[in-house]
Amino acid sequence: VSLLIGCTSLLRPPSGSAGITRCGKACYSSCNPKVCIVGSGPAGFYTAQHIIKARQDVEVDIYERLPVPFGLVRFGVAPDHPEVKNVINTFTQTAKHSRCSFYGNVNVGKDVSIDELQQAYHAVVLSYGAEGNRSIGVPGEGLAGVYSAKDFVGWYNGLPNCRELSPDLSCETAVILGQGNVALDVARILLSPIDSLKKTDITQPALEALAQSQVRRVLIVGRRGPMQIACTIKELREMVNLPGTRPEMVATDFEGVAEALKDVPRPRKRLTELMLKTALEKPGEKEQERRNKASRIWGFRFFRSPIEVLADPNHNKIAGIRLAVNKLEGSGEGAQAVLTGEEEDVPCGLVVSSIGYKSLSIDPSVPFDSRKAIVPNIMGRVQQAAGLYCSGWLKTGPTGVIATTMNNSFDTARSLMEDMDSGTLDLSAAKPGSQSISALLEKRGVKPVTFSDWEKIDNVEMMRGEASGKPREKLLKVEEMLQVART
Amino acid sequence: MATSAAVRSSMGLTLRLSRVIPDCSTCSLYRLRSCVNSAANLQRTGSADSFRTINRHLQTSIGLYHSEEGSSNAEDPEDVVNVVYIDRSGQRIPVKAKVGDNVLYLAHKHGIELEGACEASLACSTCHVYVNAAHFDKLPEPEEREDDMLDMAAMLQENSRLGCQIILTPELDGIELTLPKVTRNFYVDGHVPKPH
C-alpha cells in the first residue's frame, strides 16, 4: 500500500493496482520496476533469481518459446547425469516466487517483438542461448549419416524439433568431431549398456534405437593434441569406467605430453594424467581382464581435422570421413593446428559433429555480432541499446557449464541493479508489464502456458515414467504438451 | 546410479523442507531397545540428563547428512562450532553452528549467498569456498569426485573446497570460509577474464 506514495502515477488512475492475476500472484502497484527475461534456461532463471533477491519491488516475467521451461537443463544435460538436473528445484522456487511469472509457449520475435517488450517493461534481458550449430564447412556435410551433436543430444533428450532425427545406428564405427563434454556425452550414450540407460529419462524412441544399435566403436576426433582437449575430468573418467568398453588410443599422440605436465595448472594436469594412464599404462590384471571381455571400443584421435565426408557411391549415404593430419605450433591453450599435407580416410557410418553451438539473432532491432555469434555487450549491458541486457551463452558464447552460466547471469543482474539504483534506467514512468503483453498475445491467438500448467505436464511425465521405472517419460510433441497444459 | 541420486536429492529436499526430527519408531535399534538415547530407554533408566542427551544424538547422526535447521535450541557448548563466512564483498559474517552441520546448508540458513545447484551431489562447483589456512589441513582429504568438480571451479586455489562436503567437527571451531569473487564485477584489480 505504501508503494503508491511518491509515485508519479498517482496523477492518473493507476492501471493494475493491487489485484490478483490469473495464476494467483499478487499484482503490486504498477510503479514497481518490471523486468522481462527472454529464455527460461539456467541463464534466464539465475538472472531472475538474483534480481528478485536484490530488490524487493522488482517483478520479473520469464518468456519461453516452448511450453516447458529449463532449456538445456532439460534438453542438454545427459540422461545419466540426473544430479546435474537438481538445479531445477532452485529454478522452481524462483518461478513460484510471488514476484516471478513464467509464460511458456510464447515465441519472442514472432508472437511478440523485442520492441513491444521494451515498451511494456523497464528492462529486457535476453537469455535465449544458442540454438544453432557451427557447421563443419566441408563437402559431404549434408549426407545422410552426418548429424550435429546438438541435434543428436536433442533427439535423445526429447527436444520437440529433433523428434524425427532417426539416426542410422546400423554401422560399426562412429566418428565424433570435437572433444568437449558434449562429444563425450554422445560417445557415452552411444556405448552405454542399455540396462543403465533404461532407468534414465532418455526418450523411449532413443532407447529403442540404441537397443538395436550396431555401433561398437566410437572415435572422438580433435584438431589439436591431448593437452588441448576441451572435455573435463569427470566425463573422461566416466568413459574410462564405462562398463563393457575398452579404450583404444594411439600412443604416439602422447609423445612429449608427460614432460610438459610440470608447469601446468591442476585441472589440466589431473585431466592429462588420467588420459596418459588410460592410453599408455599397462593395466593391472583385473583391468586387463575387463578390457579383454569388452565388446565396445572408444578412443581419442588427435591432430586430425575433417576435410571431406565421403559418400558410399551406391547408397547415397556416408561411407567414411577424410581427415587432414595436423601438427601443433606453440603449446598450451594457444597452440595452433597446422596442416602437414598428409591425409587419412576413416571408414565409418555415422559422423556426429560436436564443434559448438551458435546463437542466432532474435530480432533485427537487437545488435548482433555475427562473427562471434553473440549480442555485443559490456558486463551484460547490450551496446547501443538502452534497457536491453543479455546473460548466459548469448552474452559470452556457447561454452561453460551451469556454474559458469550462473556467475555470468549474476553479473548481468548486478549490472541491471546498478542501472536501476543509479537512475541510468528510468524507473519513473510506470510500465504495464505482462498486462499489456498478455492482451497483445490474446489478440494474436497465442495462449501462454503458466508455471502451474507446466506442473501438469511435469506430473504427467513423471506418472508415465513410473510405469517403466524411469524418472519421467518426456512428452515429445509441443501439441501434446499444450493438450496437457490445457486440462 | 540414477536411482540413488534421485533418492539423495529427494531426501535432501525433504529434509530441507521439513523440520529435522527423526522418527525413532522405524529404527531397529529402538525396537531392540538398544538405542541408548531413545526416549523410551531413557524413561526406563530414569536418566536425569535425558533431554540433553537426545539432542546431542539428534545433532550428530542426522546432522552428518543434511543438518540444515540446527534442529534444537538447547545449546550444549561442546556442540557449538563458531564459523565465519566472508562474503563476496568482504563482509565477515560470524555464525554459531553445531557439530555435524553442513557448511552449504548452514550458509543457506543464514542467508549467505552460496549456491548449491546440484544439492550436494558432487555434480557442480557452485558451493566452492576457500578455507582459511589454520583449518584447511584439519579437513579430511577430498574424495576423487570432489577434486574432479573442484577442477571446474573458477579461481581455484590451494585452499579450495566444496562447501557441501564440509561437515563441522569440534576441531573446526573458528573456521573461516571465503566465497570466491568469481564474477567480473568483483575483479578489483581490473582483471578481464579471457573470452571463451
Q: What is the C-alpha separation between A202 and A200, in angstroms, rounded?
A: 5
Min Cα–Cα distance to chain A from B184, Å: 7
Among candidates A232, A267, A398 on the partner chain, residue whose Cβ is nearest the Cβ of B156:
A267
User: In B, which residues are within 8 Å of A472 by CB distance?
Assistant: none
Q: Is A92 on the interface with B (CB under 8 A)?
A: no
8 Å CB contact of A199 and B8: no
Classify residue A162 by its DSSP letter: G
- Which three three-digit cell numbers place residue A26? 499478487
3-state DSSP helix/strand/coil % of chain B, to nearest 5? 40, 15, 45
Q: Looking at the predicted structure, is the pLDDT value of residue B69 above 90?
A: no
Q: What is the C-alpha separation between A427 and A386, in angstroms, rounded?
A: 13
- Which three three-digit cell numbers place residue B195? 573470452
Min Cα–Cα distance to chain A from B192, Å: 11
B13 versus A102: the higher-pLDDT residue is A102
Residue-level pLDDT at A483 = 98
Q: Looking at the predicted structure, is the pLDDT value of residue B1 above 70?
A: no
Nearest chain A residue (CA) to B120: A83
CA B22 to each of CA A132, B25, B55, B62, B67: distance values in angstroms, whole numbers, following the listed order: 50, 9, 11, 8, 12
pTM score, whole prediction: 0.84
What integer is the mean pLDDT of B122-142? Answer: 97
Which residues partner with A219 through β-bridges?
Answer: A175, A299
Q: Is B152 on the interface with A (CB under 8 A)?
A: yes
The answer to whether A482 and A449 have CB atoms below 8 angstroms apart is: yes
Q: Report residue B57's pLDDT band, with 50, 70 and 90 as the boundaries.
A: very low
Residue-level pLDDT at A333 = 87
Instruction: Return the domain boundaries, chain B.
Output: 78-176
Residues 6 or more apart from A122 whose CB is under 8 A from it? A33, A34, A35, A387, A420, A425, A426, A427, A431
Q: What is the C-alpha separation between A11 and A160, in angstroms, rounded?
A: 49
What integer is the mean pLDDT of B57-71? Answer: 40
The answer to whether B61 and B22 have CB atoms below 8 angstroms apart is: yes
At A323-381, the pLDDT tens digits run 999 999 998 889 999 999 999 999 999 999 999 999 999 999 999 999 999 999 999 99
Residue-level pLDDT at B75 = 64
Residue-level pLDDT at A317 = 85
Residue-level pLDDT at A357 = 95
Residue-level pLDDT at A456 = 98
At B142-195, the pLDDT tens digits run 999 999 999 999 899 999 999 999 999 999 999 999 999 876 544 333 333 443
Among candidates B2, B13, B115 on the partner chain, residue whose Cβ is nearest the Cβ of A199:
B2
Residue-level pLDDT at A113 = 97
Residues of chain A with pLDDT > 90, as a percent, come to 91
At A426-460, the pLDDT tens digits run 999 999 999 999 999 999 999 999 999 999 999 99
- Which three three-digit cell numbers place residue A172? 560399426
Residue-level pLDDT at B68 = 47
User: In A, which residues are within 8 Å of B164 by CB distance?
Assistant: none
Q: Report residue B35's pLDDT band, with 50, 70 and 90 as the boundaries.
A: low
Q: What residue spans of A294-433 are helical by DSSP H? A: 393-396, 402-422
8 Å CB contact of A90 and B121: no
Residues of chain A with pLDDT under 70: 1-30
Mutation site, A86, A134, A201, interface B, largest B CB count within 10 A? A86
Q: Is A274 on the interface with B (CB under 8 A)?
A: no
Q: What is the C-alpha separation between B147 and B141, in angstroms, rounded?
A: 10
Q: Which long-range contacts (CB under 8 A, 24 or more apart) does A160-163 make?
A: A160/A66, A160/A476, A160/A477, A160/A478, A160/A481, A163/A205, A163/A476, A163/A477
A105 versus B44: the higher-pLDDT residue is A105
Q: Looking at the predicted structure, is the pLDDT value of residue B9 above 70?
A: no
Q: What is the C-alpha separation between A201 and A470, in angstroms, rounded?
A: 6
Q: Looking at the predicted structure, is the pLDDT value of residue B66 above 80?
A: no
Global ipTM: 0.88
8 Å CB contact of A415 and B148: no
Question: Which of these CATH numbers, 3.30.450.20, 3.10.20.30, 3.40.50.410, 1.10.260.40, describes B78-176?
Answer: 3.10.20.30
Tell me whether residue A273 is annotated as binding: no
8 Å CB contact of A401 and B152: yes
Q: Is B13 on the interface with A (CB under 8 A)?
A: yes
Classify residue A450 by its DSSP letter: P
